[in-house]
Amino acid sequence: MSIPPQYPQHPQSPAGTPGPTAPPQFQPSDGQGYGPAYGQGYGQGYGQGYGYPAPGWAPVGPAYGVPAGLANVGARLGARILDLIFWYLGYFVSAIPLMMWIDAGGGALAQALLIVWLVASFVLYFALTVWKSGSTLGKRICGVRIVRRGTAAPIGFWRAVGREAFWLPAAIVPVLGLLNLLWCCWDKPYQQCLHDKVADSMAVTRRAGPSRATGRPLRPASRA
């Protein structure tokens, strides 16, 4: 009579000792770039942090791309140029009576009122409109909206004032003005100019992001 072969038995893990690790699990995304991040450390199972998940699964998080819906540099530059034209035309036409008063010998009072109106018109056109609707006339034409960085909430009146007030030293110091305009070309991930950093703001397209009532965060762009 032949004796059946004996196979070695693997010892059972003692109680309290972790057994072999299970493969990593991914949860399905909602189709818009949401889903749990993967590869957040070592020792949580094999295979984590390498490659991409299978189709239909999407990692998210700040490491997987910039926020969706940021306004491009060309639209921002075009909006600024249009805004300067619109603001100056409005200021010049409305200041004609003051300038005629100065020519007629209005003296220091007329000159002071002209300077006050220059500042007031700048605040009314830029800061007030950005605070109320997120966009000036030029930004509306170019499809740009100004919101809080990372949350897309309204930036508030004083932040809007501080954002535009930065243009005063930027206009006086030539290098600072140039840096302010070009900073968004290399700034990551929110593509902010220096005046955006002062106000903790960012520029998005008017079609992107949450409503101003909810103030929910912009979703991160899915990785290509």
pLDDT of residue 138: 95
pLDDT at 105: 87
Give burial (CB, 10 Å; 0-12/13-18/19+) of 196: buried
pLDDT below 50 — which residues of the chain?
Answer: 22-65, 209-217, 219-224
- pLDDT value for 121: 94
Q: How confident is the model at residue 152, as a pLDDT?
A: 86
Predicted confidence at residue 171, as pLDDT, reads 84
Q: What is the per-residue pLDDT for 208?
A: 55
> What token pair was written down for 156?
């508030």
Compute the distance between CA of residue 36 and CA of residue 27 in angstroms, rounded to an integer.
7
The pLDDT, as a whole number, for residue 69 is: 87
What string of DSSP letters covers 6-65? Answer: P-PPPPPPPTTS--SPPPP--PPP-SSS-S-----SSSSSTTTTSS-PPTT----STTS-
- Separation CA 164–CA 174 (nearest Å): 17
Identify the pLDDT of residue 23: 46
